[in-house]
A and B are shown apart, each in its own frame.
Chain A
Amino acid sequence: MGEVVVVTSGKGGVGKTTTTAALGAALAAAGDTVCVIDFDVGLRNLDLVLGAERRVVFDFINVIQGHAKLTQALIRDKRLENLWLLPASQTRDKDALTEEGVEYVINDLRSRFDWVICDSPAGIERGAALAMRHADLAVVVSNPEVSSVRDSDRIIGLLDAKTERAERGEGIPKYLLLTRYNAARASRGDMMAVEDVLEILSIPLLGIIPESEEVLKASNVGSPVTLSNPASRPAVAYAEAARRLRGEDLGEVVVPVHKNGLFGKLFGRNAA
Chain B
Amino acid sequence: MSVLNLFRKRNSASAARDRLQILLAHEKTSGPASALLFTLREEILAAIAKHVDVDQTKVNVNMKREETYSIVEIDFEVPEPLPVSRLRVAS
Q: Spell out A's residues near B (CB within 8 Å).
A: 48, 51, 53-59, 62, 67-69, 71-72, 89-91, 216-222
Contact = CB atoms under 8 A, between A and B. Distances in A.
Contacts of B22: 54
21 contacts: A53-B19, A54-B22, A54-B63, A54-B64, A55-B64, A55-B65, A56-B33, A57-B37, A62-B38, A67-B34, A67-B38, A68-B34, A69-B57, A72-B61, A89-B32, A90-B32, A217-B12, A218-B12, A220-B12, A221-B12, A221-B15
In the A-B complex, the 6 residue pairs with the closest CB atoms: A220-B12, A220-B16, A54-B65, A217-B12, A57-B63, A221-B15
Contacts of A221: 12, 15-16
A222 B27 CA distance: 18
Nearest to B72: A57
Given A48-B23, A57-B62, A72-B61, A220 B13 contact: yes
A181 B63 CA distance: 38
Contacts of A219: 16
A55 B27 contact: no
Contacts of A51: 19
A48 B66 CA distance: 15
B12 A71 contact: no
B34 A57 contact: yes
A48 B19 contact: yes
Indicate the member of B19, B27, B33 with the most A CB atoms within 10 Å. Answer: B19
Given A62-B34, A68-B38, A90-B32, A57 B61 contact: yes
Nearest to A61: B34
A71 B57 CA distance: 8
Contacts of B66: 54
Contacts of A216: 12
B59 interface: yes
B88 to A, nearest CB: 15
A69 B55 CA distance: 13
B49 to A, nearest CB: 16
Given A57-B62, A72-B61, 16 more contacts: A48-B23, A53-B23, A54-B65, A54-B66, A55-B64, A55-B65, A62-B38, A67-B38, A68-B34, A71-B57, A72-B59, A220-B13, A220-B16, A221-B15, A221-B16, A222-B19
Interface string B22-34: 1100010000111
Indicate the member of A54, A55, A62, A72 with the most B CB atoms within 10 Å. Answer: A54
B85 interface: no
A67 B59 CA distance: 13
Contacts of A58: 34, 37-38, 61
A62 B61 CA distance: 13
Contacts of A62: 34, 38
A68 B66 CA distance: 23
B18 to A, nearest CB: 10
B23 A54 contact: yes
A81 to B, nearest CB: 15
Contacts of A48: 19, 23
B27 A90 contact: yes
